[in-house]
Amino acid sequence: MNRTVNQKAWFLVLPVLVLVAFSAVIPLMTVVNYSVQDSFGNNQFFWAGLEWFEEILTSERVHNALGRQIVFSAIILAIEVPLGILVALSMPKRGFWASLSLVLIALPLLIPWNVVGTIWQIFGRVDIGLLGWTLRNLGVDYNYTQNALDAWITVIVMDVWHWTSLVALLAYAGLQSIPEAYYQAAKIDQASRWSVFRYIELPKMQGVLLIAILLRFMDSFMIYTEPFVVTGGGPGNATTFLSIDLVKMALGQFDLGPAAAFSLMYFLVILLISWVFYTVMVNLDRRGER
């Protein structure tokens, strides 16, 4: 017996497909077009082939920006993931104080990125900022606009303050999914606090922690607004990460061809690493089901 399949549901999906085409596919194809051509203005294009990709791959400037980006992302993950887990473990599990803790921890996540940068730009100034003024009066030679180490510390502390809440909330959600019977059994066996964390809490948080690591890696690897507002990529090029270098190349120097090739390679690197994280998450879920 032949059954007629109703295809009317596609009319509901069609607006979404059109929106995605205009907001993602068409701009992406435009970038691809610029990456293989050279432009001299007046909409005149000349075929360049893979020249811009070769230039980016051999560019010392891009290599330095990539090195800074990898170091920054590694430091951020090394600080925020353990700190977020510690905060989640310290939070009350239920009641009024649990609700209040969740609200307070989520507050930094509600602040827009440019506002976060502005807050820390003012906060760290040695003339009017509370942090800069306090450190100066304590005898600490702190100036994030002139010292590269101070600029790095400021940007890292700013990111930790802004995004550790996300890791803490995800870890807290993982902890809340653990049945109380697990803790009762551990108490009967007189398990230590470390054993409870190692064999009960940490395995149950693996899924959400991988999501947290994936989100934080993607955000930190694409960070632009906060360090640009605070330091502008300086002093010198000390905090010029990949995204800042890309914007300088595209808008500051108006090198559209190299910038387009740069952005495509940037996108592929993030896509590849995200795929690796996703594969690990799927494998962990399959192991948990066995």
Percentage of the chain exceeding pLDDT 90: 38
Q: Peptide bond preceding 235: is omega within 30 degrees of 0, i.e. cis?
A: yes
In a domain, 36, yes or no: no
With beta carbons less than 8 A apart as the criterion, state whether 117 and 244 touch. no
Residue 236, domain CATH: 1.10.3720.10
Does residue 9 form part of some domain? no
| Containing structural domain, residue 160 | 59-289
Residue 25 placed within a domain: no
Q: Is it the case that residue 56 has pLDDT exceeding 60?
A: yes
Rounded-to-integer distance, Cα 259 and Cα 53, Å: 10
Q: How far apart are CA 285 and CA 283, in angstroms?
A: 5
**Which segment of 12-26, 140-154, 233-247 scores lowest on mean pLDDT?**
12-26
Answer for the pair 123, 186: CB distance below 8 angstroms, yes or no. Answer: no
Q: Catalogue the E-assigned strands of 2-83.
A: 37-39, 45-47
Torsion angle in degrees (nearest 10) through CA of 267, 268, 270, 273: 170
State the total domains in the chain: 1
Q: Are 278 and 214 in contact (CB under 8 A)?
A: yes
Poorest-pLDDT segment among 27-41, 95-109, 175-189, 248-262: 27-41
- Chain centroid offset of residue 108 CA: 15
Residue 53 lies in a domain: no
pLDDT mean over 194-201: 90
pTM of the model: 0.85
Residue-wise pLDDT for 96-135, tens only, equals 888 898 999 999 999 998 899 999 999 999 888 899 999 9
Whether 193 is covered by a domain: the verdict is yes
Q: Are 233 and 240 in contact (CB under 8 A)?
A: yes
pLDDT higher for 71 or 214? 71
pLDDT at 282 over 60: yes
**Each residue of 137-154: pLDDT tens digit?**
898 999 998 999 999 999
Q: Is the pLDDT of residue 86 over 90?
A: yes
Q: Which helix (H) or strand (E) holds 78?
A: helix 60-90
The model's confidence at residue 250, banded by pLDDT at 50, 70 and 90, is confident
Half-sphere exposure of 101 (CA within 13 A, CB side): 15
Cα–Cα distance measured from residue 204 to residue 174, given in angstroms and rounded to the nearest whole number? 6
> For residue 33, is it within any domain?
no
- The answer to the question of residue 116 being in a domain is yes
Give the pLDDT score at 27: 82
